A and B are shown apart, each in its own frame.
Chain A
């Protein structure tokens, strides 16, 4: 209790005795924490983008173009059995039945079905699910989830989902062969992103095994420069944001260290007067905790209060801030403040009191 009382009296004395320095410190550290909060989301976004990039379907797809329509068989793709194939799909042509086009909303908030084309062939129907929010205006709700095979429309008609693709008009290979369809475009999707060696191996296998169908090209984003460009762009963003963060940390740490040094001599006098090193350590840690909590909480309150009016405009991640994000920022700021006083502790624990007194007087 006495320790806590003493710590509060120190913080109060700091403000009373060094008002200008403390004002500068609080303004500076609040700005640093604000910069940290803003950068935090952008760094997080960089990580998410990077993870998304690694899992992005575009970079796992091998698009095969044939020079003329071919009726492929399932066995044609046995050569890929050693690879982690997620899906094989083929493009089909639209029929003339454009009158029967629906938009279908699933219960999932993300995926929407549109362009429902009936009677593709032999009364079989095909539906596609899109990730595009523009297409849910007609609000035809069906009772199944997006992974269902059957889609029942509000007018009672039933459709069969062949695939949930990103691009239009592609159907699963099973549906393709079931209907004895012909195609000029095949897409093979792997479960994971492959390195350049495996990538060229897959491409060579495709050329070797499907070459007799008259392949004009095998395209994949994996060996496209755009992939690297995207990666570099993400790394660049990350590096810039990281540098801003680093400058914030250094600024915060330097300011905190300056404030801490104001009381260095006092800490040694405590020892002379009978405070154990443990007690002085507790006092210093508590003081650092209080000072850094004041600045980080102030910054968080300012950020949360002005987020919609100002900070939202510079939140390029669009992720928004949860309470947990603010807690992480506050905890990090406190840890950083404590880290700046480690050198003092090392010297303090090793040296006799009078030696420290001479050093800091």
Chain B
């Protein structure tokens, strides 16, 4: 069974009162444990696709099944629960809360998850930080870390609820090439060793090479695979 299944997905935006088609009948199936790169130029529709897959935005036409469940009928609370449990986000700007400690940033998703008791949150977060080699940074504020360390914190935060899918939107966009390679190695490792499905949205072909499958998006359409 596909973990992500998009059928004829279309998404419209209104720009200056004109309807603009950001995604045009996109069909896409991603199997559990795959690593997929979504490639395309700026404005092609990559991020819109990622937002829909990540349940951050609604689509106008078509059908989307996540783990076999049709998401269009779900309300905000159910979508949020699904997002918390099934999807981890790794974004170009890290999306960390700078004034909070690394530990608190990593623990945050657990505050919205009923499965994890409050007294185990810290322990779990420290375990993940240790596995990513940044346990010693736990008490520092996120703003005090380097770009590479921040992205590792972001990955730790994405992993803490043990999601099935990691969605990475330009995860190396703000990093130098050595650090970018490190982060991509880490994502590849998570995919290969833990079987987590990894979807990487990028415009960089070199980064896309880390993924086993590549999807090209142009003018809102899925062009080739």
**Which residues in A have some Cβ–Cβ distance to B below 8 Å?**
1-3, 5-6, 9, 13, 17, 265-266, 269-279, 352-354, 357, 361
Contacts and interface: CB of A to CB of B under 8 A. Distances in A.
B35 interface: no
Interface string B37-52: 0000000000100010
Nearest to A3: B111
Interface string B99-119: 110001000111111000010
Given A5-B111, A6-B111, A9-B104, A276 B81 contact: yes
B95 interface: yes
B51 A354 contact: yes
A269 B104 CA distance: 13
Contact of B89 (A5, A270, A272, A279): A272
A23 to B, nearest CB: 17
Given A2-B111, A274-B112, A265 B97 contact: yes
Interface hub of A272, A357, A361 (most chain B Cβ within 10 A)? A272
26 contacts: A5-B111, A6-B111, A9-B104, A13-B99, A17-B99, A265-B97, A272-B56, A272-B83, A273-B83, A273-B112, A273-B157, A274-B84, A274-B113, A274-B161, A275-B80, A275-B84, A275-B111, A276-B76, A276-B112, A277-B76, A277-B80, A278-B76, A279-B80, A352-B51, A352-B56, A354-B47
Nearest to A18: B99
Interface in B181-214: none
Interface of B: 47, 51, 56-58, 76-77, 79-81, 83-85, 89, 93, 95-97, 99-100, 104, 108-113, 118, 157, 161
B77 A276 contact: yes
Contacts of B110: 2
Contacts of A273: 83-84, 89, 108-109, 112, 157
A81 to B, nearest CB: 70
Nearest to A6: B111
Contacts of B111: 2-3, 5-6, 275
Nearest to B84: A274
A11 to B, nearest CB: 13
A279 B112 contact: yes
Given A352-B56, A353-B56, A361 B93 contact: yes
B112 A270 contact: yes
A271 B111 CA distance: 12
B131 to A, nearest CB: 19
Contact of A266 (B97, B157, B161): B97
Interface hub of B104, B112, B113, B161 (most chain A Cβ within 10 A)? B112
Contact of B100 (A1, A2, A13, A361): A13
Contacts of B99: 13, 17
A266 to B, nearest CB: 5
Contacts of A1: 118
Given A2-B118, A354-B56, A269 B97 contact: yes
Contacts of A279: 80, 112
The 7 A-B pairs at the shortest CB distance, nearest first, are namely: A274-B84, A276-B80, A276-B77, A17-B99, A275-B112, A273-B109, A352-B57
B196 to A, nearest CB: 16
B58 A357 contact: no
Nearest to B100: A13
Nearest to B121: A2
Contacts of B97: 265-266, 269
Contacts of A17: 99
A283 to B, nearest CB: 9
A5 B96 CA distance: 19
B58 to A, nearest CB: 7
B118 to A, nearest CB: 6
A13 B98 CA distance: 11
Contacts of B93: 361
Nearest to B99: A17
B57 A272 contact: no
B112 A269 contact: no
Contacts of B85: 274
A17 B109 CA distance: 21
Contacts of B84: 273-275
Contacts of A274: 80-81, 83-85, 109, 112-113, 161
Contacts of A3: 111
Contacts of A265: 97
Contacts of B104: 9
A265 B100 CA distance: 13
Contacts of A277: 76, 80
A278 B81 CA distance: 12
Contacts of A275: 80, 84, 111-112
